[in-house]
Chain A
Amino acid sequence: MHKLLTDKPGEKMLLLGNEAIARGAIEAGVAFASTYPGTPSSELSLNFFQMSRESDLYFEYSTNEKVAMEVSAAAANAGVRSMCVMKHVGLNVAADALMTLAYVGVKGGMVVLTADDPFMFSSQNEQDNRYYAKLSGLPMLEPSSVQEAKEMVAYAFDLSEKLKEPVLFRTTTRINHSSGIVELGKIRKRITKGDFIKDPMNLVTVPAVSRKLHVKLLKNYDSAMQLAESSTVNFVEGDGGWGIICSGVSYNYVSDAVEELQIEARVRVLRVGFSHPLPPKLIKDFLGRCEKVLVVEEGEPYLEEAVKALAQEGGLTLTISGKAPELFSRLYEYNPAQVRTKMAAYFGVPHESPAVPDLSDLPEIPQRPPTLCAGCSHRATFYEVRKAAEGLETIYPTDIGCYTLGLLPPLSSADFLICMGSSVGTSGGFSKVTDKKVIAFIGDSTFFHSGIPGLINAVFNNHNFTLVVLDNGTTAMTGHQPHPGVDMQQLKMDGFGRVSIEAVVRAIGVPHVTVVKPYKVRKSIEAIRTAIDFKGVSVIISQETCALYAKSLKLARRKPFEVTDKCRNHRDCMDNLACPAFYVWNERIKIDPNLCTGCAVCAQICPENAILPLKEKKVTA
């Protein structure tokens, strides 16, 4: 049985934040969940996916976050407790659905999880999604710890049903990817079937209906504010005159600092867990008891601006600070020492940090950036595209996935990226205003997510570019989640359809479509060259299973290769491919047989044909 389905209230487990949230949802009786995978939220969905295979929980990987939001919204409107999970930028995609779902509301509880990523450990920006709560008028909850994250999910479902609207649940990477000891609670029975009652005058958002629904939303907002005033997730600790207002993981850094600076008797801390709508009475009362206040929050001055506005309303003139050059930044994530130092300075407390060594004399340490895996088919495709485009001035718009790593030399096949699907749309723009050859890269999952409308646009507006779909048969970057093009039989799962990328591309009316096998180097280069020469929209679909995924599926393994004595040290393999299976030994290139997947791409580009399959006996030696 899946460990998160363990029905032993009181038992303690060491859980990852994402596991704790999934468990919290199970305890709250969630019966329907949907997602598009995105770090740092991916393990949460993975656990739902695994549990759905051995219980009556319904879970789906939707094609994108907007669709995920819509399927969950429908389930919740039929009275079924549903949860929709995404990374912060995913909420941009789903925002269209969310903004009006806020008007329509829900019948069964619905929780929308947004996983923000301060410092951008694995994201293209560090937007602060608390503003989505403000923008939509919906309630937002933010936990500070792994255990609290679990508890707060049940609270979120109850709140959603009380207010009859979705609740936003905001985490940051340090909640999702922290682990802590969590005590299990009771599992509420899942109710998996609901009913939809027709009520078009409240559910079909034509202007006349929406005018009425906006009034309802504002009423709900007032009710939510009342609930926030007395919510147990907004709490005050201490009774000193130095006020600190904080939320999320910042609360942990503040708590540790209060103890380490030994200022327990001097401070009063307001931890905000119900961060939209904020409780005005509670905050004004708090401010009224403080001499000065420090707001500690990662990201934007969301709390700070609200608190300052409330102080003005309450006629309070105390100093309130947060974001300032000498205090806290809007950039990146915070850490315990930084918060402690700033608190000490702000409140004038003596403080000594541990003595740190001078590191100015350290030698330069070679960087270890993540790189495409040994045998990755994207490496082959990038090489082939660059060969096919030799002599041309090119622009390579790229997209979001493992292949974004094609940015690095020697592949250097990424020139522009803003968001999921942008490779296709931006190619259209570049091709219209420059005379350079535009060749775009998009992965299979990203193609389904948001590449298709851009491609339709390109056909309609007669753009001139080549789109290379890097089809490795899975959503590789986030951990091999299925997408509509995946063969679910390989995962031994029945009851799924399958959408062919080639059929979609042809149906769109793309005039030049070619499927290549990137491990066949010469043939692929020829096909890509023809596609590049074509005036108009051409699509290359480069098909080869992700090397890591193939390994996890235990697909037949190819023999590893070795560099034989025929090698004249041209180093074309290293200089053009730089596969991580290569290494240099006594000034010669060698291949690590444990890493080599036998893709044979390097063997095909070696000018002496010096790279050959490793002899059987040497594999074991």
Chain B
Amino acid sequence: MKTTRLIIVAVGGQGNLLASSVLGEAALMAGIPLQMSEIHGMAQRGGVVESALIFGNARSTIIADGEADILVGFEPAETLRALNKCNTDTVVITNLAPLMPFTVNIGKGVYPDLKQLQNLIRAKTAKLIAFNAAKLAEEAGNPLAVNMVLLGALIQTGVLPLETEQVKEAMQRKTKPAFLASNLKAFELGYTAAKKAA
């Protein structure tokens, strides 16, 4: 089975680990071998959370620089920061709603211009799908569902060996019942947004 390498980057609190666990559950149900790893020591203290998911027969649980097939960024500056994980064939999906690092808030840094950020990513990788996932999550009735919006976009690209229905079923198993309807809606909105962007 072909190996597919996915990197998800997010800021602590954006639900990266839940998104990863939904994909993991979907792979488990589909019988697809999967290795995952995450660095989440400081997730609750505003740091960056990075997950690596490797579908297929590889044994490694991490992804080296330049070796991601697809990168999903929950926050635009973090997507840009993770470009070292990409090669010229990598597909990139990014949320365009920034979360200001406190270093910017206290005047110790400048947030990158969003237009320039998109142009740079587009020029350096195979494809960029960029949209405001926070807005779609709100539209779905759950501002915390940015992760599910981006999951929808990720599945739409067809890069992963997972079907929409498998992921939706995994969402049923892994997300809180009270949020399931809004999460599914968020997934759909992300899926459609990615289709439009393509």
Interface residues, chain A, with chain B CB atoms under 8 Å away: 12-14, 39-40, 121-122, 144-146, 174, 177-181, 249, 251-253, 255-256, 335-338, 353-359, 361-373, 402, 405, 409-410, 548, 574-575, 578, 580, 582-584
- 9 A-B pairs whose Cβ atoms sit less than 8 Å apart in the complex: A174-B37, A178-B35, A256-B60, A357-B123, A357-B125, A367-B109, A370-B45, A402-B45, A574-B106
Of listed A144, A178, A256, A368, residue having the most chain B CB within 10 A: A368
Q: Are B108 and A366 in contact (CB under 8 A)?
A: yes
Q: A122-B42, A256-B60 are in contact. Are A359 and B84 (CB under 8 A)?
A: yes
B41, A121: Cβ atoms under 8 Å? yes
User: Are A373 and B28 interface neighbours, CB within 8 A?
Assistant: no
- Partner-binding segment picked from B86-94, B147-155, B189-197: B86-94
Contact A368–B67 (Cβ < 8 Å): no
Please measure, in the bound complex, the distance between the C-alpha atom of A180 and the C-alpha atom of B116, giving whole angstroms: 38
Residues of B within 8 Å of A582, CB to CB, are 102, 105
* B interface, over-half SS: mixed
- Identify which of B58, B62, B103, B120 contacts A369 (C-beta below 8 A): B103
CB of B111 within 8 A of chain A? Answer: yes
Cβ–Cβ contact B45 & A178, under 8 A = no
A379 smallest CB distance to B (angstroms): 12
Question: How many angstroms between the C-alpha atoms of A121 and B38 in the bound complex?
Answer: 11
Main secondary structure of the interface of A (DSSP, over half): loop
B78 touches A145 (CB 8 A): no
| A111 → B minimal CB distance (Å) | 23
What 9 additional pairs, Cβ within 8 angstroms, besides A357-B83, A357-B88, A373-B46?
A179-B37, A179-B61, A249-B60, A335-B63, A354-B87, A355-B89, A371-B102, A405-B45, A578-B105
Within B94-141, the residues touching A (CB, 8 Å) are 100-106, 108-113, 116-117, 120, 123-125
Smallest Cβ-Cβ distance to A372: which chain B residue: B45
Decide yes or no: A336 and B39 within 8 Å by CB, A366-B104, A366-B108, A369-B103 being known contacts. Answer: no
Residues of B within 8 A of A180 (CB): 34-36, 61
How far, in whole Å, are A229 and B64 apart by their CA atoms in the complex? 34
Chain B residue contacts of A358, Cβ below 8 A: 124
Please list the residues of chain B having a beta carbon within 8 angstroms of any beta carbon in chain A: 11-12, 20-21, 24-25, 27-28, 33-42, 44-48, 58-67, 77-78, 80-81, 83-84, 86-89, 100-106, 108-113, 116-117, 120, 123-125
Question: Looking across the interface, which residue of chain A has its beta carbon closest to that of B3?
Answer: A256
Contact of B44 among A39, A548, A578 (CB under 8 A): A548
Interchain CB contact (< 8 A) of B87 among A14, A145, A355: A355
**B77 proximity list for chain A (CB < 8 A):** 365-366, 368
Closest CB of chain A to B133's CB: distance in Å?
A: 18
Q: Which residues of A contact B28 (CB under 8 A)?
A: 12-14, 181
Q: Name the residue of chain B whose CB is nearest to the CB of A180.
A: B35
Q: Are A362 and B64 in contact (CB under 8 A)?
A: no
A370–B105 contact, CB under 8 A?
no
Q: Which one of B38, B61, B120 lies within 8 Å of A361 (CB-CB)?
A: B120
Q: Contacts A14-B21, A580-B46 known; A368 to B66 CB distance under 8 Å?
A: no
Give the Cβ gap from B6 to chain A, nearest Cβ, in Å.
13
Nearest-Cβ distance from residue B172 to partner chain A, whole angstroms: 15
Contacts A14-B25, A363-B112, A365-B81: A337 and B67 contacting too (C-beta < 8 A)?
Answer: yes
Chain B contacts of A335 at CB under 8 A?
A: 60, 62-65
Task: Kindly provide the distance from the CB of B118 to the nearest chain A CB, expressed in whole angstroms.
Answer: 13
CA–CA, A253 and B62, complex, Å:
9
Q: Point out the residues of chain A lying under 8 angstroms from B105, CB to CB.
A: 574, 578, 580, 582-584
The CA-CA distance from A376 to B103 in the complex, in Å, is: 17
Q: Is the CB of A365 within 8 A of B37?
A: no
Q: Are B87 and A357 in contact, CB atoms less than 8 angstroms apart?
A: yes
Closest B residue to A361 using CB positions = B120
**Cα of A402 to Cα of B116 in the assembled complex, Å:** 36
Chain A: minimal CB distance from B96 (Å): 15
Q: Which residue on B lies nearest to A478, using beta carbons?
A: B41
CB nearest neighbor in B for A145: B59
Residues of B contacting A357 in the complex (Cβ-Cβ under 8 angstroms): 83, 86-88, 123-125
Structural contact, B60 and A253, CB atoms closer than 8 A: yes
Residues of chain A within 8 A (CB-CB) of B59 are 144-145, 251-252, 255-256
| B103–A368 CB distance below 8 A | yes
The residue in chain A whose Cβ has the minimal distance to the Cβ of B53 is A179
Contact in complex: A354, B67 (CB < 8 Å)? yes
A373 contacts B44, C-beta separation under 8 Å: yes
Q: Which one of A251, A359, A367, A580 lies within 8 Å of B83 (CB-CB)?
A: A359
Q: Which residues of A contact B89 (CB under 8 A)?
A: 354-355
A251 cross-chain contacts in B, Cβ below 8 A: 59
Which of chain A's residues have a CB closer than 8 A to the CB of B103? 366-369
List B contacts of A144 (CB < 8 A). 59
What 6 A-B pairs come out closest when comparing CB atoms? Answer: A366-B109, A337-B64, A357-B124, A370-B42, A370-B47, A252-B59
CA distance A367 to B105 in the complex (A): 11
Chain B residues lying within 8 Å of A373, measured Cβ to Cβ, are: 44-46
Complex: chain B residue closest to A479, CB-CB: B44
For B102, list chain A residues within 8 Å (CB): 368, 371, 578, 580, 582
B106 touches A575 (CB 8 A): yes
With a CB–CB cut-off of 8 A, which chain B residues contact A356? 65-66, 84, 86-88
- Chain A contacts of B12 at CB under 8 A? 370
B36 contacts A178, C-beta separation under 8 Å:
yes
Q: How far is the CA of A336 from the CA of B25 in the complex (A)?
A: 25
The docked-state distance in angstroms from the alpha carbon of A338 to that of B61 is 14
Q: Which residue from chain B places its CB closest to the CB of A580 in the assembled complex?
A: B102
Contact of A410 among B11, B100, B106, B120 (CB under 8 A): B106
Contacts of B100 in A (CB 8 A): 583-584
